Structure 1
Amino acid sequence: MRTERGFDRLVNFSDAVVAIAITLLILPLVDTATELKGMTVIELLQNDGLKLLVFVISFAVIGRFWLAHHQMYERVVGYNMPMLWVNLLWLLSIVFLPFPTELIASTGYDSATTSALYVGTMVLTSAAATWQMAIILRNPDLQAPAARGQLTLQPSLVSLGLMLAAFVFVLLFPRLGLWWLLLLVLSGPVQLLVRRIRPQTSAPAA
């Protein structure tokens, strides 16, 4: 039996795990601050500029993932076991992200393996989010009454597709490393383009 209390616990647990993961990102910078010996703050920031950059990127990425997750769960009123397990997979990828973040901060992003692990983790997060949305769409009873008929898999698929493209480009052109994540900026324009094309392709022939 699925209860409202159970659903609230699921959402609260997810939010707590994300909050812990996003907090872990700052710990390497906190450790760096304790090494301020004979250096000014500006010199310290210059020496550890990559750490700061990767922290900001990872914070923004996790924040973006959480925002999409939050918006998704605002439109549902219940859950089932598949949704619960896929959400755990989503949380696993979120919790794992601080690890490749620290690898890049320590070794740089010139390594294809390190960058691929970093972006690949984000691919898993996007795939898990898309999977959850697919489960929600297949189970209208999980959807909030006002959201029924309004939900679509398109935004999740676009984000997943762009993330996969970034992952492939990281493998093929590792020198650019994390710059390939700028492809995600195209998410909005691509979704708008798809929305404009779909009515035309789905319209009946005269």
Structure 2
Amino acid sequence: MHTERGFDRLVNFSDAVVAIAITLLILPLVDTATELNDKTVSELLVDNWLKLLVFVISFAVIGRFWLAHHRMYENIAGYNKPLLWVNLFWLLTIVFLPFPTELIAAGSGDNSPATSALYVGTMVLSSFSGTGQMIIILRSPELQTPEARGTLTLVPSLVASSMMFAVFLVVVIFPQLGLFSLFGLALTGPVQAIVERVRRRSATPVA
């Protein structure tokens, strides 16, 4: 039997794992601070601009994934075994992200296509597993809070996953673009708005 205490433990455990993963991102920069020696802070920052950039990107990505996860779990009051396992896989992808982040930072800008593909591919798996959780929730109305039933939609999660996969394809096909491909994710919001607008129009009965 899945109790309310079990659900609280699931949410708290998920938050803790995300917090640990996002903290791990800063550790390489903390180590870099010990290399100051005769350098000025400005020189240290210039020499390690890539590490700083990748840290900010990865922090923003994990933060974005956590916000989506938080909104999703605000609409449910329970869980089942499929949701539990897919959530664990989502956490696996989140806690793995600091690894390709460090690979890119350590490459000093000379990263192989495989490194970029691993970095963005990890994000794709995070996004897809988030969508998987949303599918389970939509197919299990008993998990949803009373006020959320009938209001949830797969569109935002599906659009976000599709955009992430599109960026991954760009990274694989045009590896010379590198991290700049991630700027394509800025289109996620506008695309979601367009899809929602089209969906509402198609759902409106013609007079």
Structure 2: runs of 5 or more not aligned: none
Alignment-derived partner of residue 22 in structure 1: 22
Q: 1:109 touches 1:115 (CA, 8 Å); kept in 2?
A: no
C-alpha displacement at 1:4, in angstroms? 0.3
C-alpha displacement at 1:200, in angstroms? 3.1
Alignment-derived partner of residue 185 in structure 2: 184
How many angstroms apart in 1 are the aligned matches of 2:206 and 2:110? 51
Matched, 1:98 2:85: no
Deviates more, 1:109-118 or 1:33-42: 109-118
Alignment-derived partner of residue 82 in structure 1: 82
Secondary structure, counterpart of 2:147 in structure 1: helix
How many angstroms apart in 1 are the aligned matches of 2:136 and 2:110? 35
Alignment-derived partner of residue 132 in structure 1: 133
Matched, 1:200 2:198: no
Q: Give aligned-pair identity as a percent.
A: 70
C-alpha displacement at 1:42, in angstroms? 0.5
Letter in 2 for 1:72: M
Alignment-derived partner of residue 61 in structure 1: 61
RMSD of aligned Cα (Å): 1.2
Letter in 2 for 1:16: A
How many angstroms apart in 1 are the aligned matches of 2:79 and 2:181? 35
Letter in 2 for 1:160: S
How many angstroms apart in 2 are the aligned matches of 1:64 and 1:89? 17
Alignment-derived partner of residue 141 in structure 1: 142
C-alpha displacement at 1:187, in angstroms? 1.3
Alignment-derived partner of residue 49 in structure 2: 49
- Using the size of structure 1 for normalisation, the TM-score is 0.97
How many angstroms apart in 2 are the aligned matches of 1:199 and 1:46? 49
Letter in 1 for 2:195: V
How many angstroms apart in 1 are the aligned matches of 2:170 and 2:70? 29
Matched, 1:40 2:43: no
Structure 1: runs of 5 or more not aligned: none
Secondary structure, counterpart of 1:199 in structure 2: helix
Alignment-derived partner of residue 171 in structure 2: 170
C-alpha displacement at 1:184, in angstroms? 1.4
Secondary structure, counterpart of 1:38 in structure 2: coil
Residues 85-118 of structure 1 show CA distances to partners (whole Å, capped at 9, x for unaligned) of: 0000000000000000000001136421111100
Secondary structure, counterpart of 1:145 in structure 2: coil
C-alpha displacement at 1:205, in angstroms? 6.1
Residues 117-137 of structure 1 show CA distances to partners (whole Å, capped at 9, x for unaligned) of: 000000000000000000000
Q: 1:109 touches 1:178 (CA, 8 Å); kept in 2?
A: no
Q: 1:110 touches 1:175 (CA, 8 Å); kept in 2?
A: no
Residues 27-52 of structure 1 show CA distances to partners (whole Å, capped at 9, x for unaligned) of: 00000001111111110010000000
Aligned length: 206
Matched, 1:117 2:118: yes
Letter in 1 for 2:83: M
Residues 139-196 of structure 1 show CA distances to partners (whole Å, capped at 9, x for unaligned) of: 0000011000010100000000000000000011111111111121111111111111
Q: 1:170 touches 1:177 (CA, 8 Å); kept in 2?
A: yes
